[in-house]
Amino acid sequence: MAAKPEITFRGHGVSPGVAWGRALKIDSQNRVMLRVEVADPESEVARFLKAVEMSKIQLQELKGRLEEKVGVEHGVILDAHFLILDDRVLREEIVERIRAQRANAEWAVTQATERLIAAYKSLEDEYFRERHSDIEHVAERILLNLSGDSAFGLGRLPEDVILVARDFNPSNFATMDLGRVRGLVLESGGRTSHTAILSRGLRLPAVMGLCDILASVSTGDLLLVNGDGGQVIVHPTHEHLENARRQKEALAAAAEAAGPMETAAATADGMALSLRANTELPHELTAAIACGAEGIGLYRSEFLFFAHPHGFPSMEEQRSVYSTLARAMSPHPVAIRTLDAGTERLGEGGERSTNPSMGLRGIRLSLALRDAFREQVEAIVRAGSDGNIEMLLPMVSTVEEIRQVKDLLAEVRSGLERAGIPAAPVPLGVMIEVPAAVLVLETLAREADFLCVGTNDLIQYVMAADRGNPAVDYLCQPLHPSVLACLGRIAEVSGRMGKPVRICGEISSNPFFAVLLVGMGFRQLSMTPLAIPAIRRALGKVSVAAARRVAERALTLATTGEVYDYLVPEVSCLVPIDLSPYEKEIRPSRHE
């Protein structure tokens, strides 16, 4: 029998890692709920309320089991489901539908929740839009309890499965045998969904937002999942599987070999380098220390907000997390990036935007929500007494934004000093990720203590290409000459002005690009923790002079393809280790 043709799907990589296994296709129960007139509406109301109470009992048990598996900090994710079950307005709407229309509870639940789901799906902000799935999951649980059915069982799974579904209830993680699951592939969802957050907590490679993949996958099909690149291959070739195996083995070997006592990173000719970790979840702190990270170059504080049932964690909740990071990484620095979220944080009555990625988000939103921002700033400042804490501002485009934050910092410090609370100095950094910041870099650098380059967003904004849109995927290339020109300018200006600068995008975790960055003049690279040992070894094989020669030549080339064709053989000669798993990550689409 001829081998089935390989099919590649691109979506959103929401949990890093590479995995392969046999598909287990989980079809959603797409119920059609008909309206049935009931003789006794009050009995139907009682039946609905009983189903709600049963759902609460089930969720409480599932929450306990989930906390045992992935930690108490992740159990709060299911609190969102409790809040929906306790929502007085939603409950009253369902009861009113039953009474006013003498309707069955199933129909009333479906009508009310579908209205709410549609409202959430219409929101521009990704985080709030993803909350529609929580409503769907709660509605499904209530309907199951009304019908007396049982949820689909995931307790007995075959070995090495890739779960494939339209959506996935995060409570399912509490009941399934995680040792048999290798990856998660969903048609819906994004990075801020609760299922995505739990996938990262479980270190389960996951790709979401894969349009129509269910129609092309059958249970038992071999799948290759790349949670870093947002790619899923159905019926992968032997070559693709071997590359994935080598990449996974290389990362595992590097992580095992590395340790906190390893010598500091340096080039072959002794130039000191600082390799730091990008983190967001508690378990990543352990990985960062084990892999020899010299600090946290970027801590994404969004997890505290996205996972919190009430939207905004208290100052004390935030301070506790930041202090834990500071103490664990001491004496190395920990850079806390302030909340990087979008417009719908203002609530449904807030400003709407037809282009939310360029709307009220990042530092713009924080300055608009001054009270909430003040609490985060105070938490960061107070945590500074427990270690080497830095504060990092996302999506800065004007010097006025930095000055407003500095004024707020001064207010917070003054208030703490009056209250007799220690307020350690906290260096202030800015993310360079929009073209405006690159163009006025000298002005920004004079105001900031350090600079941090967010290459993921920088590429998107420089190329005016949504990195989540497959139609323009070929433009979102880190090797594009315009992107390299921006990086070259950032390195030159920061060096001339004596400002520390680091790269915090995941391009740092690719040896080909790491050599290029060192050649441009960058000495601080921050990346996923498990990539640190491999990058340390690769850069230890290259002299600064050789890296500079590579960068100077790359900056003269006219197309992404020309840069790639030059860079791959050149760096492969300089770094005598197997780089083939990394080469495909920077291979451009030939649409030039």
12-63 tens-digit pLDDT: 888 888 999 999 988 655 556 778 899 999 999 999 999 999 999 999 998 8
What is the DSSP annotation of 492-511? Answer: HHHHHHT--EEE-SGGGGSH
Q: Which domains does the chain have, with CATH numbers?
A: 7-29+152-236 (3.50.30.10), 41-147 (1.10.274.10), 246-348+356-586 (3.20.20.60)
Sole residue written with tokens 């006794």: 40
**pLDDT reported for residue 405:** 98
pLDDT in tens, 359-412: 788 999 999 999 999 999 999 999 999 999 999 999 999 999 999 999 999 999
Percent of the chain with pLDDT over 90: 53
Phi, psi (rounded to 5 degrees) for 206:
-145, 140
Query: Above 80 in pLDDT, residue 482?
Result: yes
Identify whether the C-beta of residue 291 lies closer than 8 Å to the C-beta of residue 527: no
**pLDDT reported for residue 266:** 94
Identify whether the C-beta of residue 101 lies closer than 8 Å to the C-beta of residue 45: no
Alpha-carbon distance of 392 to 340, in angstroms, equals 10
Q: Who wins on pLDDT, 254 or 511?
A: 511
Alpha-carbon distance of 169 to 151, in angstroms, equals 11
Q: Is the pTM of this model over 0.95?
A: no
pLDDT in tens, 204-228: 999 998 888 988 998 899 999 998 7
Structure tokens at 151: 């949820």
Q: Which residues of 556-588 are buried (b: 16+ CB within 10 A; e: fewer)?
A: ebeebbbbbebbbebbbebbeeebebbbebbeb
Query: Above 90 in pLDDT, residue 449?
Result: yes
Q: Any idea which residues carry the catalytic annotation?
A: 194, 504
Identify whether the C-beta of residue 469 lies closer than 8 Å to the C-beta of residue 431: no
The conformational region for residue 102 under phi > 0 = left, psi -120 to 50 = alpha, else beta, is left
**pLDDT reported for residue 353:** 55
Which residue type, as a one-letter code, is found at position 285? L
pLDDT in tens, 269-326: 999 999 999 988 766 787 788 888 999 999 988 877 765 655 578 899 899 999 999 9
**pLDDT reported for residue 345:** 42
Phi, psi (rounded to 5 degrees) for 449:
-85, -30
Identify whether the C-beta of residue 112 lies closer than 8 Å to the C-beta of residue 90: yes
Phi, psi (rounded to 5 degrees) for 13:
-75, 110
DSSP-assigned letter for residue 529: G
Structure tokens at 69: 């598996």
Q: Who wins on pLDDT, 242 or 453?
A: 453
Structure tokens at 247: 């990449």
DSSP-assigned letter for residue 68: H
Q: Who wins on pLDDT, 193 or 180?
A: 180
Which residue type, as a one-letter code, is found at position 137? H
